[in-house]
Chain A
């Protein structure tokens, strides 16, 4: 084990990061009030990732830490990504062959009821959520 002095982050650096985090929080709350169409989600997520990165790299000191800890953290994120993306392979493409249907029976019933009552069905009741 090579002996290295532990890194000490200066109060100034910590304060700057804290300021940045508060700024980003205010930004994300304000931009969420605007209607940016399909940009709302990516923007909010980008800001969240930026905030989380600041916390991990500076507050948690990963920047100065043993590399193996970065690898561990990275692997954790990688497998979260695997979990999400491989599940989406199913849920986004459910019913791509004839062995099962895309929508549920409940949704179909709701839609039929909506049609029969001849009122415009709330958009939320559409059974088919094609990706």
Chain B
């Protein structure tokens, strides 16, 4: 029943010139361009991570000097956070999937969308320009007065982060308006895929929080350049105030990183369990609630900074409140499988791995939120392990699941399922081997950002470094078979996973340049599989591309 649509043009084939890509207003192509850009950023950040891990195999100098090491971990963080993880899911998958999932022809402001992409590229290049002028030192947190006292590279990095902030803001703004104004007829808020809900919640954070990193970077720039005395204690400024400014953005930014992962996992859990996502309304609304609560907890990064105890107590209490909806979400995802029909394809393996790693990230987060325990654990490897479990074990593992899930739709090709499963195993094993030992050495007292360390920690560091190699091998394997699939991959069908969201049921593979041949009319929720039993009755791939009026 799908053959009649297969002969039509698609967004990849209709115009293949370079210019048609660089100047495209098509959200799908912009998504693909982001995919390439953030993958390069991830590669660069990843290589730096491997170098950092190799340096830490033994105390003292292993492969680089202390200065080189300090710059390597700073650059690793700056690249991974600002150029990779913040744009990764929203800008790549949000761009590609969001208009398709809501039945729109494009995002609300396509030109702005393209502008966001180039602003991102410009910001990333400016930040990298720092390498040419001098040292990039001080960690991604840029704490004053160290950041204002060292090298001029920081001027470029702050400018780059400032510029990339605009890209993030404009993307978020675009998505909010798109979700509000461009949904297909019948697609009520209660029927939205949970990926849309989470991207929507993410966009709220992007719009409300990112301007503050803008002004923070501007003030830091002026502090370094003009010595305005707001943050520099030698001039009567207050470094702790800088930390408030910084974390007012950077804590919500953690939710920019994790909320989209929640959305992907929800979609994967529903589709591969062929089951209504348990507690749909709770999962949807709690994403928005977490987005807002995420603004009220930034001070838990500052329990030992010298801020007042009053604020530490307030921030600690609210930190728990945000932990509860997150915990309930995990339970909802697990119980989605209950009495479902679970199919363990590669994307689902990532969703299941996510439940494991993210739960560890969450529980250790609770531990760090306890005032008395945090005093001991703050700025140790325990914190390093915790945020890698949340960002990498949460965001990146979910993003890999999403990438595999939407890869057939993006490219029209299936990847090698067997290699996919092997790579998922390598990533999961390597990730845990890299970061779990860090919890133990952190609790033992190993401080973070240490070039040299006491010999008693070497065993943990060795394990961690070996883990990073396994993890790296898994990631390179993924890169390999995904690229191979472009050349010799099996042609993907319209709906290889049996999903019920519009990008699978109402578009061709890959999609038409204008997404839908006819505006879809939605009559059921994103996971109402029981209302679509007849679609699955034949046991073949389900699609409603041509017969859109019957459903």
Residues of A within 8 A of B (CB): 1, 68, 75-76, 79, 82-83, 86-87, 89-97, 99-100, 104, 106
Contacts and interface: CB of A to CB of B under 8 A. Distances in A.
Contacts of A83: 212, 248
Contacts of B248: 83, 87
A82 B296 CA distance: 7
B236 A99 contact: no
Contact size range, B: 20 to 34
A131 B370 CA distance: 28
12 contacts: A75-B204, A79-B208, A86-B244, A86-B296, A89-B299, A89-B308, A94-B306, A96-B308, A96-B309, A97-B308, A99-B309, A104-B233
Contact of A90 (B181, B212, B233, B244): B244
A96 to B, nearest CB: 5
Interface secondary structure of A, over-half rule: helix
Interface secondary structure of B, over-half rule: helix
Contact of A99 (B208, B306, B315): B306
Contacts of A79: 208, 295
A90 B180 contact: no
A104 B236 contact: yes
Nearest to A100: B306
A128 B204 CA distance: 40
B389 to A, nearest CB: 27
Nearest to A98: B309
B180 A68 contact: yes
Contacts of A92: 308
Contact of A94 (B180, B308, B315): B308
B310 interface: yes
A96 B212 CA distance: 28
Given A75-B208, A82-B295, A83-B248, A93 B236 contact: no
Q: Which 5 A/B pairs are nearest by Cβ-Cβ distance?
A: A93-B308, A89-B311, A100-B306, A90-B311, A93-B310
Interface in B30-47: none
A93 B310 CA distance: 7
Nearest to A101: B306
Contacts of B308: 89-97
A90 B208 contact: no
Contacts of B311: 86, 89-90, 93
B321 interface: no
A3 to B, nearest CB: 14
B307 interface: yes
Given A79-B208, A83-B248, A104-B236, A90 B295 contact: no
Contact of A76 (B208, B306, B315): B208
B235 to A, nearest CB: 9
A93 B241 contact: no
A1 B233 CA distance: 55
B240 interface: yes
Max chain A CB contacts within 10 Å: which of B236, B298, B308, B310? B308
Given A90-B307, A95-B308, 13 more contacts: A76-B208, A79-B295, A82-B296, A86-B299, A86-B314, A89-B310, A89-B311, A91-B238, A91-B308, A94-B307, A96-B310, A97-B309, A106-B236
Contacts of B212: 83
Contacts of A82: 295-296
Contacts of A106: 236
Contact of A87 (B180, B208, B244): B244
Contacts of B295: 79, 82
Contacts of A100: 306
A76 B181 CA distance: 20
B379 to A, nearest CB: 15
Nearest to B296: A82
B245 to A, nearest CB: 8
Contacts of B244: 86-87, 90
Contacts of A75: 204, 208
A104 B379 CA distance: 25
Contacts of A94: 240, 306-308
Contacts of B299: 86, 89-90
Nearest to B318: A86
Interface in B261-306: 295-296, 298-299, 302, 306
Interface in B169-222: 180-181, 204, 208, 212
Nearest to A105: B233
A127 B17 CA distance: 68
Max chain A CB contacts within 10 Å: which of B248, B310, B315? B310
